[in-house]
Amino acid sequence: MTKTNPGNYFEDFRLGQVLRHATPRTITGGDVALYTAFTGSRFALTSSDETARAAGLPRSPVDPLLVFHMVFGKTVPDISLNAVANLGYADGKFLTPVYPGDTVTSVSEVIGLKENSNRKTGVVYVRTTGSNQHGAPVLSYVRWVMVRKNDEAANVPEETTPALPSAVAASDLHLPPALMFKDYDFVRGGSAHAFEDYEVGEKIDHVDGMAIEEAEHAMATRLYQNTAKVHFNAFERAKDPSGRRLVYGGVVISTARALSFNGLENAGLMLGINGGRHVNPYFAGGTIFAWSEVLDKADLGEAGALRLRLVATRDRPCHDFPDRDAEGKYPAEVILDFDYWAAVPKR
C-alpha cells in the first residue's frame, strides 16, 4: 500500500463530502513581513500597530487576503492538487480578525459537481471555512476549480451546480466589534479620501505596475503551503501547451490589491469577496496593472463600505479601463476580474 497522497481526482468527490484539511497554521509576524515583501501592500491599518490601536483594535490585524491564502493553502492537497485551474470565488465573508500568533485551520464541504463534456475534467464547488484556535470562524467562502479525472470512463453518481449569491449583502458584512474610525489619521493613511468622496460608477486607474518574477511567485505560494502542481512542477508543465508554471491566482489578486492603494489608500480592511474570475492565465515576468470601479456603497455605522470591482491586466496600462466588450469577451491582457467589499473611514 502506498503511503503517499496522489490527491483527489474529479471522480473521487461526492456531494456533501466534508474534508478536514491537515496542517494547522500559526500566522506569525514573519509571515506578515514576507507578505509585505511579496506584494508591497501599504494599507496603514494592516501595516501599523499604532494606526490599528487608534482605530480601537488591539494591534494591526493580519491582512485579510493573507488569511485567505493561508486558509486556501490548507485545502489544496485535498481539493486542487490535480487541478487544471482555479476558476472563481463567491460568497466570501471575513468574520473575525486574525492577529499574529493566531492559528488557522480549514474545513471544506463539496457543494457542487459538474463533469465537463470532454469527460477528462470536471468542476468541483466547495465551501471552505477557516477557524482560529478558539474555534471561531474567521473566513467562509465558496470556490470552484477544474480538476482532472484519473479514469475518463468513471461516472460521478450525482451532479449539481449550486446557486450562489451575486454579492454578499451589506447587512452580512462583519466589522470588527471594537473598530472605530473617529480618530483615524488620513495623513498617515496616505490620502484625504474618505467614504463620502467615492461615487458609485466611479473608475480609478491605479497607475502603477508591478512584475512578478518566477522565484517570487513560487516563494509566495510556498508561504501559503499551497502545493498545487501547476505552480511548481516544471517537468509536468512542460507537457502543457504553454510549457510554463502557472502563477497562483491569489498572488495576482494580492498584487492587484496592493496596486489599488494608489487611489484607495484608506480602503485597507477587506470585508467580503463577492466574486472573482481568473479571466486569462498569468505567467511570471509580465507586468500587472490594475483599475477599480465603485459598484456600490453602504453605511455600516462606524465605517462605510465600498463594493469594488478590481480588474488586473498583464503588460497593459489601465488608463483606458480595459474591460469586456458588448459580447462579454475580455481582452487577452485582462487576467483578473475581482469583486469585493472594503471598509473605509467616514469623515
The contacts of residue 305 (CB under 8 Å, 6+ apart) are 170, 173, 271, 297, 298, 299, 341, 342, 343, 344
Q: What is the structure's pLDDT at 1? A: 66
* pTM of the predicted structure, to 2 decimals: 0.95
pLDDT per residue over 55-69, tens digit each? 999 999 999 999 999
In the block, cell 477528462 appears at: 120
Q: What is the DSSP letter of 21?
A: -
By the 8 A CB rule, do 318 and 205 touch? yes
**Could you read off the pLDDT of 154-165 as tens digits, one per residue?**
988 788 999 999
* DSSP E strands, the chain: 18-20, 25-26, 83-94, 103-115, 121-131, 137-148, 203-205, 210-211, 269-277, 287-299, 304-314, 334-344
Q: Which domains does the chain have, with CATH numbers?
A: 10-149+180-344 (3.10.129.10)
The pLDDT tens digits for 249-298 are 999 999 999 999 999 999 999 999 999 999 999 999 999 999 999 999 99
